[in-house]
Amino acid sequence: MSSRRTSRQQSSGVPRISDDQIIQLVSKLRQLLPELRHSRRSDKVSASKVLQETCNYIRSLHREVEDLSDRLSELLSTIDADSPEAAIIRSLLI
């Protein structure tokens, strides 16, 4: 049976992924998620729950980008890029 991974997709020298590695990565994900971050560390949260929450979170982040783009398109249309207002905005941000 041919090997499961071809050399083209693997970066060289990557060892086989251990379960521990995945567990660590999943716990890092968990810390990012607002829903799960506040639950006690000892609470066992299943990997599938973390993945589900991650998908929900990414979707909500996308929605937020949409809303902000909407808001900005209305605000920025009144401001000309070379005007002093634009300079004020830039100085407020940086």
Partner 1 sequence: MRPPTNSTTFKREFLKKWLLALQLCNNHHNNNNKNGVVERKNTIKLSAEIAMAAARNGATCWSRALIAKHSSSSSLHNQTPPPRHSKKRVLRCKRIIRRSRRCIHHGPAAAVVRRKTAVLRKLVPGGELMGDEASLIRETLDYVTSLRAQIDVMRRLARASDRVAMCNGMK
User: Does 55 help bind partner 1 (rule: CB under 8 A)?
Assistant: yes
User: Does 29 help bind partner 1 (rule: CB under 8 A)?
Assistant: yes
Which residues, 6+ apart, have CB-to-CB distance to 37 below 8 Å? Answer: 30, 31
Kind plus residue range of the DSSP H or E element containing 18: none
Q: How far is the CB of 93 from partner 1 (least distance, A)?
A: 6
User: Does 17 help bind partner 1 (rule: CB under 8 A)?
Assistant: yes
**Helix, strand, coil percent values for the chain (each to nearest 5):** 60, 0, 40
User: Does 8 help bind partner 1 (rule: CB under 8 A)?
Assistant: yes
Site residues, partner 1 (CB under 8 A): 4-6, 8-10, 17, 21-22, 25-26, 28-29, 32, 47-48, 51-52, 54-55, 57-59, 61-62, 64-66, 68-79, 81, 85, 88-90, 92-94
